[in-house]
Structure 1
Amino acid sequence: MASLPVLDDAFIPELPNRYKGKVRENYDLPDGSRIIIATDRISAFDRILAAIPFKGAVLTQTARHWFEKTGDICPNHVIAYPHPNVVIGKRLDILPVEIVVRGYLAGTTSTSILTKYKAGERSMYGVTLPDGMRDNEKLPEAIITPTSKAFDGGHDEPLSPAEILDQKLLTSEQWETVSRHALGLFKRGQELSAKNGLILADTKYEFGTDEQGNIILADEIHTPDSSRFWIAESYDSAFTSGKRPRSFDKDFIRSWVVERCDPYKDDIPEIPAELIEQTSDVYIQAYKMITGKRFARDMNPEPLKAIREALKVYF
């Protein structure tokens, strides 16, 4: 593992207005654009778990694939890609609601519909689910389960459409627009994923507004970090036996952590090097399966130095 390069931090002092998120680091430029650098950090349970070699490039390039495949559904923030880990995007005012679309009764986090369902809840996010559903069962139709958008390490909280409007987080027109875009993107994602032998079980989208108030898709789309993908051929047998379908999303590490502690209360055990290496391979395999393209590993031992060089024009 020591020979694999890892981008665990993306601090570039020559760039202005840094914002460090859980996974990405942003710099706002004077011209109204934003530099977004995807590090190799992996987060879950509202905390950083580890750094996975090549993960940042996989996410950036997977999102690039999907932005190009969905530009006809809604506009997105992309301006340029100066480096595999970097996108230059339009600076947006991010809407304070994270849009999660779910096609299956699945998940492990406190806001997932499966967690809530198993705790006895049936009405959630403005939707009522029937009794008798099983783990990972397909929903009658895709649903939107919005949460508050947590900033600076806060916790996402479930919201219903009525709460979104009552709290004036979005206008009625904005809610209708993001809902239409999200369901359209999810449908396209499911259709194209199915052709590659994958099930897109759920995903999250972030939207923002530009200076004219237009709603623009931001962040990432249909990546292993923002989405739950299952290997389609594994679904029927797994569902019949009550097991989780084979996947390559964050549940790979999430499950290991959950088996060993309460990730919302306890210290996270050190992730074994072998698991980190396996997870890196999983991300690369995910890229291949999702996009149908070969992933080129950049073995530069100093990835941040290469990114700095690619971004010099913005200093």
Structure 2
Amino acid sequence: MANTIIDTNFNFPGQKSIYKGKVREVYTLGNDLLLMVATDRLSAFDVVMPKGIPYKGQILNQIATKMMADTADIVPNWLLATPDPNVAIGYACEPFKVEMVIRGYMSGHAAREYKAGKRMLCGVPMPEGMKENDKFPEPIITPATKAEMGDHDEDISREDILKRGIVSEEDYAVLEKYTKALFQRGTEIADGRGLILVDTKYEFGKTKEGKIVLIDEIHTPDSSRYFYKEGYKERQEKGEPQKQLSKEFVRQWLISNNFQGLKGQTVPEMSDEYIETVSERYIELYENITGETFVKADISDIQNRIEQNVLNFLSE
């Protein structure tokens, strides 16, 4: 669709390198700064869809910015400034090679594994007798190894992370502590907005001073799953699907069109009409998660807007 940002190739002052992830593009600048552009790319089943979603990058960037501000008192983060609706600038970190996934409810990937008969996920037992979307007795941490663009992230246990030396035992204890604290705060924020934070993932990095900080996105619809609190119990009792706020609706649409990112499968065509509905859902997600009205940025020339805003910031 027109007026989306799918790819960038900026050349900012002091720029050293570019890394292109599934959704974000990261520019390394001088003075140990990173500049992260949230594009309008849509990733599902670790596959990037061919078309962008209008305003998606702005939505993800602004939710993450707000949530980092709302959690900075319990966990330090990398963020310094957001000079553009799609851009975050912060301190360069060495990312840990794991995503800290935490689940309060048996949904999504966990539910699919459970239905397949598995009762262990990333070395963590899941109780017998659970139904999809039931609450776990306690939130469980089910890490994943980070994948490059186009590759699938893989489940991994705490034991394997330590055994393979991916993260030291000392650092992993901090990651677990921060993950639990962030999930508790995210749960409280969601509860105040009539939502349930079902599951989410956090990513961390280490600054050159050796400080562990939260990086990337937090509590966005791409990294998290939310249910509406109202009617949750009734739906569970009746065995009905939960009304949810996440990009799971995109995954379900893909599944219904015979795509789960498996070898030999082809991404189904997304019509402009369907993309418009996805954009509208993302705006709904933003407003429900933040409790604020979404203000659309000028998308007549996104590339130029970003470039000018960043140059103005860097020249200050």
TM-score range, shorter chain: over 0.9
Q: Is 1:260 the counterpart of 2:261 in the alignment?
A: no
How far the C-alpha of 1:63 sits from its partner, in A, is: 0.7
Q: CA deviation at 1:10?
A: 2.1
Amino acid aligned to 1:41: R
Identity %: 40
**Is structure 2 residue 233 aligned with structure 1 residue 236?**
yes
Identify which range, 280-289 or 74-83, moves more after superposition. Answer: 280-289
Is contact 2:48–2:150 with CA below 8 Å preserved after alignment? no
What does residue range 62-81 of structure 1 map to in structure 2 within 5 Å? 62-81=63-82
CA distance in 2, matches of 1:10, 1:27: 10
Q: Which moved more, 1:52-61 or 1:42-51?
A: 42-51
Gaps (5+ residues) in structure 1? Answer: none
- Residue 310 of structure 1 aligns to which amino acid in structure 2? N
* Aligned-residue offset at 1:240: 2.3
Comparing 72-81 and 13-22, the one that deviates more: 13-22
2:268 alignment partner, SS class? coil
Counterpart position of 2:194: 197
Q: What is the aligned length?
A: 309
Moved more, 144-153 or 32-41: 144-153
In structure 1, the residue corresponding to 2:100 is in which secondary structure? strand
Q: Is the 8 A contact 2:99 2:144 kept in 1?
A: yes
Matched residue SS, 1:41: coil
| CA deviation profile, 1:200-244 (whole Å, cap 9, x unmatched) | 000000000011221110001001111001111132232223232
The one-letter code matched in structure 2 to 1:48 is V
Counterpart secondary structure, 2:42: strand
Deviates more, 1:12-21 or 1:160-169: 12-21
What does residue 119 of structure 1 align with?
A: 116
What residue number does 2:21 align with?
A: 21
Partner of 1:177: 174
1:20 Cα offset (Å): 1.0
Aligned structure 1 segments of 4 or more residues deviating by more than 3 angstroms: 13-16
Question: Is 1:295 aligned to residue 294 of structure 2?
Answer: yes
Residues 267-311 of structure 1, C-alpha deviations (whole Å, 9 max, x = no match): 111112222111111111111111111111123311111001112
SS in 2 for 1:311: helix
2:243 to 223, 236, 246: 246
* Cα distance between partner residues in 2 of 1:154 and 1:79: 30
Letter in 2 for 1:272: S
> TM-score normalized by structure 2?
0.94
Q: How does 1:1-315 map to 2 (within 5 A)?
A: 5-14=3-12, 15-49=15-49, 50-107=51-108, 112-263=109-260, 264-265=262-263, 266-313=265-312, 314=314
How much does 1:102 deviate?
A: 0.3
Q: CA deviation at 1:192?
A: 1.1
How far residue 91 of structure 1 moved from its aligned partner, in angstroms, is 0.9
User: How far off is 1:44 after superposition?
Assistant: 1.0
Question: Aligned partners of 2:223, 2:259: CA distance in 1, in Å?
Answer: 22
Mind listing any 5+ residue stretches in structure 2 that lack a counterpart? none
Residues 47-104 of structure 1 deviation map (CA, whole Å, 9 limit, x = unaligned): 1123111011111110111111100111000011110100001111100111000000
The amino acid that maps onto 2:304 is K
Structure 2 residue identity aligned to 1:22 = K
Deviation readout 1:137-183 (Å, 9 max, x if unpaired)? 11001010001111243221111111111111111111110000001
Partner SS state of residue 244, structure 2: coil
Q: Which amino acid aligns with 1:64?
A: T
Cα distance between partner residues in 2 of 1:124 and 1:102:
11
For residues 218 and 244 of structure 1, what CA distance do their matches in structure 2 show? 32
Task: Judge which range, 239-248 or 158-167, deviates more.
Answer: 239-248
**Distance (whole Å) between structure 2 residues aligned to residue 106 and residue 69 of structure 1:** 26
1:225 & 1:32 partners in 2: Cα distance? 27
| Structure 1 stretch displaced more, 247-256 or 232-241 | 232-241
Provide the C-alpha distance between the structure 1 equivalents of 2:204 and 2:249, rounded to a whole number of angstroms: 27
Report if the CA contact (8 A) 2:206-2:212 is conserved. Answer: yes
